[in-house]
Chains A and B, each alone.
Chain A
C-alpha cells in the first residue's frame, strides 16, 4: 500500500478548466472520498490519478514515485468503475485473471490468487458465469475482486455504488468499508452522494467547478464548512442559508425584523468584506415556537414532513427555505406563522460576497 499526493494538478480543455490547481495528500491506508455535484471535476481528478487522461499541469505521486508520465498499467493501481466495466465476453474467472495474465504471472499463481479473491468476496460459485448472468450486486463484487486480485498500491473507485438499488447500496457500503479495514487499503473513492462520503471515508475532498473546496475529515467538514457551497452540500437535509445584512450588532432582514448577535458572532460578522452576510444553520440547532420569544425571527410554514421518529418542517424565512427538525408531537400546519430561535454557538456566518465562512478575528 502507498499514499497518493496531488500537487497543483490541472486539467483544461481549451479555456475550460475541469480540474483547477487541486492539491491534497492521501496517506497510506486512508479512505478518501472525492465528492461534489456532477461536473465538478471529481471523476476527471480520479482519471488523472489513474493516468487515463494526460494532465495539463502539476504533479501526482503514488508511493513516493512521481507518476506524471507513467502509463496506467505502470502506476500500480486498480480501479472499480461505475458500470463495473466487466469484460462481457469473458467469464468471471477470466475477468479476475486478466490483470494477472497481463503481468505474465505463472498459471498456477494466477489460479491461486483468483481463488483467494473469489473466496474473500464470496463469489467462488460464480466463477464460470458470464457478467450478464450476474445480478448488480454480484457484478459489483466481481469488479472489486478484479481490483484486489493484483494487490495494488491504491484502489480507485468511480461511483461504484450508484448503479445499485437503494437497499443493496447500503449493504455494499458496509462491505466496502469492511474491505478497506481488513486490507488496510488506500482508497480514493468518487461519489456524488455526500452521505456515502460521510459514512465511509476517513477524509473527504469536496469539489466544485474544478476547484477543491475543502479537504478534511467528515466531522470537520460537517462542523466547519469553509464556504456556503460546502455548507449546503454536506448534511441531509442541507444546512439552511439565509441572506441578510449587518446592522450594528444585529442581522437585519428586508422583511423588517432584526436578529441580535452574540459578541462572538459580532466579531465574526465584522470580518465580512461587505454588509451582506449569509446566515447558516443546521436543522437540529433550530427551535420552533408558536409565539414570539426573544431572539427569534418570524417565518411561515411551507411543508411538514413526518418521518416517524422526527418531523421535518420547511419554513420560509426572508424568502429562504429553512429546514427544521421537530419532535413528532409538535403539531403545525402549512401557512402557519411560527417563530424560529437560533443557537448562537452553533450558527454559521458567511461573507455574502465571497461566500467564505467568517472566523472570529
Chain B
C-alpha cells in the first residue's frame, strides 16, 4: 500500500470519529441548555402569557416585571425575597470561611504527617460523604434543639460544615500532595520555623486549592435544601431554596415569578463557577486522578 492511500484512509476514519463526536456534543449541549433557556424565556412573560397552549415560544410582550417585583425592596414580595437572598449569602459565606479554616490544617496534616490512625481517620472522613442528609435529620434536629440552635443560622452553618468538610479536606489534600516537601525543608533550613514554612511557602502555593475549596463549600451551602427546610421554620431566617418554595406554593403557582426567582438564585453560583472554573475543575481532577 502506498503512503498516499494509507494517509487517506486514516484521515477518513478520523473524520468519522470527529464528526460523530461533534454531533454528540451538539445534542448534549441542546439537552443541557434548553431547560435553562426556557427558564429565562418564561421569566420574561406575564402570568397570562405563560399559561397558554400551545406556548408562546418567544414572549409576545417581554417584560422584566417578575424581576423588578422580586428585587423591589419596598414591596412585600421583594422584601421577603431579598431577605432570603441575604440569609443565603450570609450562611454560605460563613460556612465557606469556617470550612477553609478547619480544612486547611487537617488537609495539610493528612498530606504530610504519618500518625497512628491516620488512614482510619481519613477514610472515616471520606465515608461521611456516603450518608444521606435525610437520615441525620431527626438526631441533628434534636441536637440543634439541645444546643439552642433551632431556627438560627448557626444550625445550618454547623451542619454544612460537616458535610462540606470531607470534600474540602480531600480536595486540599490533593493540592498539598503536589507541593514538594523539599520546599518546606528548604524553608526550614533557610531559617523558618515549621509554622513559618507553612505560612510563607506552602500557603501561597496552595492558594488555587483554597479558592477551589471555597467555591465548593460556597456552592454546596448555597444550594442546600433539606436541613434548611427542617431546621428553619421562621420566615425571617429562611434561605433561598426553602424561601422560594414557601413563597410560591401559597396560591396557585406563579410560574414566571418562580422562573425569575430560580434564575436569580442560580446567578451567583453560576457566575462564581464560570469565573473560577479553572480552579474548580483542577481541584476535582486532582482529587480524582490521585487521591
A residues within 8 Å of B by Cβ?
47, 50-52, 71-73, 75, 77-79, 81-83, 85, 87-89, 98-99, 102-103, 146, 150, 156
Whether A52 and B188, one on each chain, are in contact in the complex, defined by CB atoms closer than 8 angstroms, is yes
B266 contacts partner chain A, Cβ-Cβ < 8 Å:
no
Which residues of chain A come closer than 8 Å to B186, judged between CB atoms? Answer: 79, 81, 85, 87, 146
| B190 close to A98 (CB less than 8 A) | yes
Complex interface: chain B residues within 8 A of A72 (CB):
185, 188-189
Q: How far does the alpha carbon of A88 sit from the alpha carbon of B187 in the complex, in Å?
A: 12
Could you give 17 example pairs across A and B, Cβ below 8 Å? A47-B185, A50-B189, A72-B185, A73-B189, A73-B193, A75-B189, A77-B189, A78-B189, A78-B190, A79-B189, A81-B185, A85-B180, A88-B183, A98-B200, A102-B192, A146-B186, A146-B190
Docked CA distance A78–B186 (Å): 8
Q: Does B54 contact A (CB under 8 A)?
A: no
B183: chain A residues at CB < 8 Å are: 85, 87-88
Asked if B204 CB lies within 8 Å of chain A CBs, one says: yes
Q: Which of the listed residues B189, B191, B196 has the most CB atoms from chain A within 10 Å of its own CB?
A: B189
User: In the complex the two chains form, what is the Cα distance from A98 to B193 in whole Å?
Assistant: 13
Closest to A101 in B: B191
Query: With the chains together, A73 CA to B185 CA distance in Å?
Result: 10
- What is the bound-complex CA distance between A321 and B185, given in angstroms? 43
B171-206 at interface with A (beta carbon < 8 Å): 180, 182-183, 185-193, 196, 200-201, 204-205
- A310–B161 Cα distance when bound, in Å, is 72
CA distance A72 to B184 in the complex (A): 11
In this complex, what residue of A is CB-closest to B205?
A89
CA distance A50 to B189 in the complex (A): 7
Interface residues on B, range: 10 to 19
Query: Which residue of chain B lies nearest to A99 when distances are taken between CB atoms in the complex?
Result: B190
In the assembly, what is the distance between CA of A51 and CA of B201, in Å? Answer: 19
Contact residues of B between 195 and 229, Cβ < 8 Å to A: 196, 200-201, 204-205
The residue on B at minimum CB distance from A78 is: B189
Given the interface pairs A79-B186, A102-B196, the reply to whether A88 lies near B205 with Cβ below 8 Å is yes
B182 touches A83 (CB 8 A): yes
Contacts of A85 in B (CB 8 A): 180, 182-183, 185-186
Rounded to whole Å, the gap between the CB of A75 and the closest CB of chain B is 8
Question: Which residues of B are found within 8 Å of A71, using beta-carbon distances?
Answer: 188, 193
A89, B206: Cα distance in complex, Å: 11
> Which residues of A are found within 8 Å of B187, using beta-carbon distances?
87, 98, 102
A residues in contact with B189, CB < 8 Å: 50, 52, 72-73, 75, 77-79, 99, 156
From A79, which residue of chain B is reached at the shortest CB distance? B189
Considering the complex, which residues of chain B in the window 242-268 have a beta carbon less than 8 Å from any beta carbon of chain A?
A: none
Please state if A73 and B205 are interface contacts (CB–CB under 8 Å): no
Q: Are A102 and B182 in contact (CB under 8 A)?
A: no
Residues on A with beta carbons closer than 8 Å to the beta carbon of B200: 98
Q: Please give me the 7 A-B residue pairs with the lowest Cβ-Cβ distance, nearest first.
A: A102-B191, A99-B190, A85-B182, A85-B186, A73-B191, A72-B188, A81-B182
Instruction: A72 to B192: give the CA distance in the assembly, Å.
Output: 9
Query: Closest CB of chain A to B192's CB: distance in Å?
Result: 5
Q: Which residues of B contact A98 (CB under 8 A)?
A: 187, 190, 200
Chain A hits for B188, CB < 8 A = 51-52, 71-73
Interface centre among B182, B200, B201 (most CB of A within 10 A): B182
Task: Write out the residue numbers on chain A whose beta carbons fall within 8 Å of the beta carbon of B180.
Answer: 83, 85
Q: Contacts A87-B201, A88-B205, A89-B204; is A79 near B185 (CB within 8 Å)?
A: yes
Give the Cβ gap from A264 to chain B, nearest Cβ, in Å.
Answer: 50
Min CB–CB distance B159 → chain A (angstroms): 36
B185 (CB) vs chain A CBs: closest residue: A52
Contacts of A52 in B (CB 8 A): 185, 188-189
Q: A103 contacts B191, CB within 8 Å?
A: yes
Task: Check A99/B191 contact, CB under 8 A, given A83-B180, A87-B201, A89-B204.
Answer: yes
- With a cutoff of 8 Å between Cβ atoms, the chain B residues found around residue A47 in the complex are 185
| Interchain CA distance A98-B204 in the complex, whole Å | 14
Q: Which residues of B contact A82 (CB under 8 A)?
A: 182
* Most chain B Cβ neighbours within 10 Å, of A51, A72, A89: A72
A103 to B188, CA, bound (A): 12
